[in-house]
């Protein structure tokens, strides 16, 4: 039996990419656009205007994706700090719009450094490129703390309404993350036990095998808490903790329920930091960034609690780190042990090999009464074949005006509210910073701290 949503069709769109010749565009955005155009008939529905400061040709910019994107892509040179250039951009977009059978929407994608985003938005607003038919597609980071996030949101609000802003969290766009709402909303066997009466604890892990990969400037000003905890892990926690939707395809309701879950998560009191807040740095990091005094954390573990009665007494462990033994993102739900049975562990695997796994106890064959733990597993790729990339999903869903994969401004502020006491404490002292060897397991890192 298949249940199909009434999905909105893709609206005619002009996608304006600021920074089309940059690294983010080459590594992620252009491959996603090429796949979308190959998989869908978007002729006459999608036009790509790549904005760059330099004179470049399509062969240089599109590279291996030239064949897929050539007919739909045009390059446009402009000085992003000149107001007059935005007036000319407006005229250019008006001309492109005439090629569509109906007025297209305009999506501005910001594949530029964070410091460049707000000045561009101000110029767009002043040039009148902020009508109801326009949208902003923004990459993280969304501020560096609560105050900076609030200032960024307030500045954007001067030119664009909240429903025009799409803040990308690529973990929300991964297939497993999207399927959490379906998994809980459509399967009574789990929906009916999704509370503190049956669940012992929840652990959400995002481990990376790589270090900072040369991103010294970015990571030194960010760290693991801001890079992964504020966005990816808290958003995954919100999906797991939110009240399951009665209508799993109600894409407007999902962000509201995520927000309610985030607002119920409590900041950790200062006197509870020992045992609930851990940070560490991998050995060799100071030399890598050429800063012997750096206290930037590359590993963080937080244990949070929710004020929602459904989750009373259930610890929520969030763990992330770099230069660990493996690349892995998964949600582990430990069910309570009863007097009649052992505990069961449910794993929602986000990456790699997206899927679902549960430990079940069975009796071993034979005359003796012995129990054995076996895994019942399902992998999306095995069953469905190729899965759409997260970048493909955010582009397609922004074209459909589906906000469910994007973080609202209220969610961003709720996340920073949870973490602000930790940031404040760390700004005053680094006495709790520990160290671990590259390639360590999470248990080994936690043992060192």
Q: Backbone phi, then psi, for 124, in 5-degree steps?
A: -60, -45
CA–CA gap between residue 89 and residue 389 (Å, rounded): 30
ω into 133 cis (within 30 of 0): no
Task: Using CA atoms of 186, 187, 191, 193 in order, give the dihedral in degrees to the nearest 10.
Answer: 180
Task: Pick the catalytic residue from 65, 123, 159, 232.
Answer: 232
- 331-358 burial by CB neighbour count: b if 16+ within 10 A, else e? bbbbbeeeeeeeebbbbbbbbeebbbbb
DSSP type of residue 259:
H
Place of tokens 């050995």: 283
Helical ranges in 192-306 per DSSP H: 216-220, 223-224, 234-241, 253-264, 285-288
Pick from 396, 422, 427, 416: which is nearest to 140 by CA?
Answer: 416
Active site residue 133: no
Q: Per-residue DSSP letters for 84-148? A: HHHHHHHHHHHHHHTTSSSPPEEEEEE-S-HHHHHHHHHHHHHTT--STTEEEEEPSP--SSHHH
The CA-based dihedral angle spanning residues 235, 149, 280, 267, taken in that order and rounded to the nearest 10 degrees? -70
End-to-end CA distance of the chain: 50
- Distance, in Å, from the CA atom of 402 to the CA atom of 127, rounded to the nearest integer, reads 26
Helices (H) and strands (E) in the chain, counts: 18, 17
**Which residues make Cβ contacts (< 8 Å) with residue 235, sequence separation at least 6?**
169, 171, 172, 177, 258, 407, 411, 415
Q: Establish how many alpha carbons lie within 13 A of residue 225's alpha carbon, considering only the half-sphere containing its beta carbon.
A: 26
Residue 404: asked if its preceding bond is cis (omega within 30°), the reply is no
The two tokens of residue 61 are 């910019």
Cite the active site residues: 232
């Amino acid at each position: 039996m298949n249940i199909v949503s009434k999905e909105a069709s893709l609206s005619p769109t002009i996608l304006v990419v600021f920074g089309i010749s940059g690294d983010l565009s080459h590594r992620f955005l252009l491959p996603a656009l090429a796949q979308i155009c190959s998989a869908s008939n978007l002729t006459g529905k999608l036009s790509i205007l790549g904005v760059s400061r330099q004179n470049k040709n399509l062969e240089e910019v599109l590279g291996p994706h030239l064949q897929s994107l050539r007919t739909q892509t045009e390059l446009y040179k402009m000085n992003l700090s000149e107001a007059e250039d935005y007036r000319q951009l407006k005229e250019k977009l008006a001309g492109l719009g005439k090629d569509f059978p109906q007025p297209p929407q305009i999506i501005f994608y910001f594949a530029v450094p964070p410091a460049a985003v707000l000045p561009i938005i101000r110029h767009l607003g002043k040039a009148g490129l902020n009508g109801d038919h326009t949208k902003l597609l923004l990459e993280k980071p969304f501020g560096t703390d609560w105050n900076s996030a609030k200032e960024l949101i307030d500045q954007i609000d001067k030119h664009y309404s909240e429903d025009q802003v799409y803040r990308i969290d690529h973990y929300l766009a991964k297939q497993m993350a999207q399927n959490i709402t379906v998994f809980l909303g459509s399967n009574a066997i789990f929906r009916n036990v999704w509370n503190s009466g049956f669940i012992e604890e929840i652990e959400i892990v995002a481990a990376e095998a790589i270090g900072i990969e040369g991103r010294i400037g970015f990571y030194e000003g960010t760290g693991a808490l801001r890079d992964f905890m504020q966005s990816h892990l808290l958003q995954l926690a919100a999906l797991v903790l939110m009240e399951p939707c009665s209508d799993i395809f109600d894409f407007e309701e999902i962000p509201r329920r995520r927000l309610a879950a985030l607002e119920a998560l409590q900041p950790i009191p200062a006197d509870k930091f020992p045992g609930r807040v851990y940070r560490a740095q991998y050995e060799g990091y100071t030399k890598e960034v050429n800063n012997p005094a750096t206290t930037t954390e590359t590993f963080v573990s937080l244990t949070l609690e929710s004020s929602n009665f459904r989750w009373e007494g259930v610890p929520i462990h969030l763990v992330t780190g770099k230069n660990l033994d493996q690349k892995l993102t998964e949600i582990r739900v430990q069910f309570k042990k009863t007097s009649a049975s052992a505990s069961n562990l449910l794993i929602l695997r986000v990456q790699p090999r997206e899927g679902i796994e549960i430990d079940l106890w069975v009796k071993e064959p034979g005359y003796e009464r012995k129990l054995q733990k076996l895994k019942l597993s399902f992998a999306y790729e095995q069953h469905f074949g190729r899965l759409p990339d997260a970048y493909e999903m955010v582009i397609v869903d922004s074209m459909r005006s589906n906000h469910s994969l994007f973080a609202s401004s209220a969610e961003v502020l709720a996340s920073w509210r949870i973490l602000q006491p930790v940031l404040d404490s760390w700004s005053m002292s680094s006495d709790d910073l520990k160290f671990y060897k590259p390639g360590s397991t999470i248990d080994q890192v936690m043992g060192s701290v």
